[in-house]
Amino acid sequence: MIKNLFNVLKKDPYALTGVLIYLFFIIIAIFADLIAPNDPLRILFNSSGLARNIDPGREFLLGTTSNGRDIFSQLVHGSRNALYVGLTAALAVAILGTIVGLISGYFGGWVDNLIMRLADIALGIPFLPFVIVLAAFLGPSSWNVVIAISILLWPNSGRVIRSQVLSLRERAYIESAKVSGCSNLRIIFVHIGPNILPLSFLYGSIAIGWAILTEASISFLGFGPSDVISWGYMLQDAYSSQALSLGAYFWFIPPGVCIVLMVVAGFFISRGYEEILFPRIKN
């Protein structure tokens, strides 16, 4: 499997591009304290007083906000929150969808019916309003986005994994495992589980983009934490300060581009995974 992944990265420029984008932002997030020249929440002053609405230059690469904060430092530190939310949500979706799909597909019967009806309910809930309501009840937090994405996106991966398990459980090696006395849990997680992990990775990579886009949307609407710098927070701050009418394009274009790159990277990686899982769709 690992060999196939490297082969896809070599042959598929889209998948390689997606991985390189993620690696770039991961490096930025790890060394954010060294790259960013200022504290992203610190109000800065210069010889003229409050360093507000300063154009990009040597002192401030992307200028400053109307509150005197360094935009470049905010952009760099925003990568940490984006990756934190994206990777955590992706891991939660992959784990929850995998476990649910395995149990539903293997046992079938009333267990399968119950889980699939819960999946139908989750798929029918409007995504963004649900996150807003959750944030209103639990308070603004990045964890709210992770929880909401985990609750509402697991049916997408769970259904596909379930269909794969329905096929795998009829294989001869599964019957042999039952005859040899293996427990149901061992069959599910040892004999069937490894065969559906590529599907889990596929939907996990898709969930990263969803999580980052959702977090940005929530922060832009004002339901995100005020003490955590994120790209959505930067867009909300720019909007409330009328950055567009002031012509401060350096304030809102960079975080918007970063969000687009992270979402597109997840799509590129999922496209590469599809060629592993479904080689017939390859052109």
Q: Express each pLDDT in 81-133 by its tens digit.
A: 888 888 888 888 888 888 888 888 888 888 888 988 888 888 888 877 887 78
CA-only gyration radius of the chain, Å = 22
Backbone angles phi, psi at 65, to 5 degrees: -85, 180
Range 19-42 average pLDDT: 89
What's the rounded Cα separation, in Å, for the pair 158 and 203? 10
Kindly state the DSSP code that residue 58 receives in the 8-state scheme.
S
Q: Place 28 in a pLDDT band, splitting at 50, 70 and 90.
A: very high
CATH 3.40.50.1220, domain 2-34+72-281, yes or no = no
pLDDT beyond 60 at 19: yes
| Mean predicted confidence (pLDDT) in 133-156 | 79
Residue 269 token pair: 């990686």
As a whole number, the mean pLDDT across the chain is: 81
Q: Which of 264, 276, 253 is nearest to 19 (CA)?
A: 264
CA distances from 274 to 165, 189, 198, 202, 216 (A): 18, 23, 9, 8, 27
Residue 185: CA atoms inside 13 Å, Cβ hemisphere, count? 0
Contacts with 239 (C-beta within 8 Å, 6 or more apart), sequence order: 220, 252
Q: How many CB atoms lie within 10 A of CB 90?
A: 27
Q: Where are the domains of the chain?
A: 2-34+72-281
What are 45's strand-pairing partners? 50
198 to each of 12, 70, 83, 117, 223, how far by Cα in Å? Answer: 17, 42, 21, 25, 34
Q: What is the pLDDT of residue 76?
A: 92
- 185 alpha-carbon distance from chain centroid: 29
pTM assigned to the model: 0.81
CB atoms within 10 A of CB 37: 12
